[in-house]
Structure 1
């Protein structure tokens, strides 16, 4: 079974630091956590960083375009039609390898709508979350390796002392 102590420590420390920093800089704290989760859900590493970030950003941009179209729509059911089209596009774009992480695209769309259409705020927090993902993974592996080295036996056990 894989050990998660190292990544747990790195995520815990970085989560606390991000929360404090994002509050001080008036960034959207929770959005980064969703992007961070997408990094891990997309498999982690360089591939998880690229796929998670690309999918999140594409979802945000499609939602932004839908919001622009909805500003012009005045008929009943316009929102339902826009959401239906968004769902279709978010799935179909997955034919492109870069955008193949469908949950990340849906998350990006939800993030945009969940922040009341804050395009720049969402994009900044998504990038921060993706970067937190890669940093926490690398740092977590280093922490885990240090634990693994200290708990591994270093040689044969000493012989018991003779009793007189």
Structure 2
């Protein structure tokens, strides 16, 4: 079995489980899948990938709230666009810091916040659990592949 298929199997199973967990806890299942996407797209794996994914997603939530709050304080629509432009600059510039150097993760967190109409209290746990589920999806898929290969090797040795 290829690594891709093994990860696909565990991702399918855990995606269904995530859907149930999200509904049971009153979270945003779609935002969890955005957190999941962040981890899978992250340039790093393991605990470092979890940290980078969560840090950039949370920074995106922060920046979205800055845009939402500042834009609501002005009556001229064009000023809201200027605020967005300036904040987007900072969303990219923060990548100079190693622990915030995954720009797509920042934009994913920001987009989730906008999509929830600024409900950051619901977006944050949804994103974080999504990242954790993605880690479990990938890790369990790699475990499944190794397990099946080990069983296959034992079977070959028996014959």
Using the size of structure 2 for normalisation, the TM-score is 0.91
The residue number in structure 2 matching 1:146 is 147
Decide which structure has greater helix share.
2
Aligned equivalent of 2:40: 40
Query: Where do 1:44-63 residues align within 5 Å?
Result: 44-63=45-64
Partner of 2:115: 114
Per-residue CA distance 1:52-76 (angstroms, 9 max, x = gap):
1111100101111221111211113
Q: Secondary structure at the match of 2:150?
A: helix
TM-score after normalising by structure 1: 0.88
Superposition deviation, residue 145 in structure 1: 1.1
What is the CA distance between 1:140 and its match in structure 2?
1.5
Indicate if the aligned counterparts of 2:38 and 2:105 stay in contact, CA closer than 8 A: yes
Q: Which runs of 5+ in 2 are unaligned?
A: none
Partner of 1:20: 20
**Structure 1 gap segments, 5+ residues each:** 158-164
Q: Find runs of 4+ consecutive structure 1 residues off by over 4 angstroms.
A: none
- Alignment pair present for 1:133 and 2:134: yes
Find the aligned partners of 2:110 and 2:56 in 1 and give their Cα distance. Answer: 10
Aligned residue pairs, count = 157
Q: Is the 8 A contact 2:2 2:145 kept in 1?
A: no
Q: 1 CA distance for matches of 2:136 and 2:156?
A: 30
- Asked if the contact 1:45/1:137 (under 8 Å) is kept, the reply is no
